[in-house]
Structure 1
Amino acid sequence: MGDVQVASREDWLTARKQLLAGEEEAARRLAELAAQRRALPVVKLEKEYVFDGPEGKVELLDLFAGRRQLIVYHFMFDPAWEQGCKFCSYLVDNIGHLSHLYARDTTLALVSRAPLAKIESFKARMGWSLPWYSSYGSDFNYDFHVTLDEAVAPVEYNYRDKATLERTGGQTRGEAGGLSVFVQDGGAVHHTYSTYGEGAALLHGIDNYLELTPQGRPLIQDKAGWLRHHDRY
């Protein structure tokens, strides 16, 4: 049992009801934040982006696959790497059946800067079937601040500029994780939301299960030591 405290059923129930009050308050706050997120204004995209996919060259509108909403997970996969990021892989392993998203007129796709051949090879190795596109050669990763290279675009990550990132010990170069949401109306694509780093933590379903246990979920700095691609445990 380690450091777990043993108590009577009565004492446990008292403590559990106290925790329940905090959980309900947190749920209310999360609902408020979700409403604020839905109420964000949108930005019409004027630039055209071209991606490489299994069907050939496609534009951002094509990634919607005929649906109104699109969620893009910016999967970290540098063109020089031979495999995708293990943290991004952990997130993708937690994605459920896409039919539930499709039923809500929403498409989910992965986008990485690695060439399509590397993406397809790694995708097959992981046993994934999600739509996955290469943004190699386009500005997409730079414009959405998930590839940081001052020679290409001003460095910004999680809405912080380079000076702030340097002052706070943040990343200022290379591939970075993130997620962006788009909506299309009559063929016009609008950017509605992006989140970065721990902002996508809610998508780590396994972590949410582990948070229900006495040991809890591993911290990101601890996860770096033990996390593997699922075929490497």
Structure 2
Amino acid sequence: MTIHSTATHDVWLTKRLALLKAEKEHTRRSDELARMRQELPWVKLDKTYRFDTEKGSATLADLFQGRSQLLVYHFMFGPDYEAGCISCSSIADSYDGFAVHLANHDVMLWTVSRAPLAKLTAYRKRMGWSFPWASSRDSDFNFDFDVSFTEEQQRQGRIDYNYARNAHALDLDPVPPPVVEFAARSGTDPATFGRDRPGLSAFAREGDDIYHTYSTYARGLDGLWGMYQWLDRAPKGRNEQGLWFRRHDEYAKA
């Protein structure tokens, strides 16, 4: 027997119309936020970043592949991880489907991580993905865009992530149990796991000039998480109990 409230259709419709009003307000607010993102000033980059790709060494300019816009997903896969972060893996499950649409809208999508390229391509093969993935292990890229940190920064409590200092679950002491489990499932310890973080950065190119236009982190990535958008409309929502999701090839093993 359900423990959720029940009602007649007429009562349901009254509440649904009230919800519809709130949903429309949310949609209009989302449109406003999109405009605000696009109105942010651009910051010209004065450093050349290099990446390892399947086609050899590449600069950030090369990642545009002739397009004027570039989106980079900062995937949590540090040099000492054995597998990519479960959360980032869930988000990445949708990339192949919409990357072609972005490309035809003058936007190139790349995923970048600090793990060696061989680890990244092996994991991508395991997951059945095909989107381009670059290694930034010999570059300042991750550090400059606040998604990777040094052991010294950890020890000194100088982690500036999501525009705040030491304000993330990975920075808590003790580390929350779910973070410990996520780290273990990536084949590493919580401290090592926490030296890489998720994020999205956007860039624009005009001639030979490249500009940083936007970055978002942590819950700012929820909108990219296709699974969330569906579950938020399911009767029981995300139903977040314990480690409530896994890599897509691990469910049968659960």
Q: TM over 0.5, yes or no?
A: yes
TM-score norm. by structure 1 comes to 0.91
After TM superposition, list the pairs within 5 Å mapping 1:205-224 onto structure 2.
205-219=226-240, 222=241
The answer for the alignment partner of 1:137 in structure 2 is 138
The answer for the alignment partner of 1:184 in structure 2 is 205
The answer on whether the counterparts of 2:80 and 2:115 sit within 8 Å (CA) in structure 1 is yes
Deviates more, 1:142-151 or 1:40-49: 142-151
The answer for the alignment partner of 1:229 in structure 2 is 247
**Which runs of 5 or more structure 1 residues have no equivalent in the other structure?**
none
Please identify runs of 4+ aligned residues in structure 1 that moved more than 6 A.
none
Q: Deviations over 1:86-111 (max 9, x none)?
A: 11000001232322101110011000
The answer on whether the counterparts of 1:208 and 1:217 sit within 8 Å (CA) in structure 2 is no
Quote the offset at 1:4 in angstroms. 2.5
The answer as to 2:93 corresponding to 1:93 is yes
The answer for the alignment partner of 1:54 in structure 2 is 54
Residues 1:218 and 1:39: Cα distance change in structure 2 (over 3 Å): farther
After TM superposition, list the pairs within 5 Å mapping 1:1-233 onto structure 2.
2-95=2-95, 96-149=97-150, 151=152, 155-162=159-166, 169=172, 173-219=194-240, 222=241, 225-233=243-251
Percent identical across equivalent pairs?
A: 45
Quote the offset at 1:32 in angstroms. 1.1
The answer on whether the counterparts of 2:204 and 2:210 sit within 8 Å (CA) in structure 1 is yes
The answer on whether the counterparts of 2:199 and 2:218 sit within 8 Å (CA) in structure 1 is yes
TM-score norm. by structure 2 comes to 0.84
The answer on whether the counterparts of 2:71 and 2:109 sit within 8 Å (CA) in structure 1 is yes
Q: Deviations over 1:179-221 (max 9, x none)?
A: 10000000211000000011010111111111111201244xx
Quote the offset at 1:33 in angstroms. 1.0
The answer on whether the counterparts of 2:151 and 2:195 sit within 8 Å (CA) in structure 1 is no
RMSD: 2.1
The answer for the alignment partner of 2:181 in structure 1 is none
Amino acid of the residue matched to residue 24 of structure 2? E
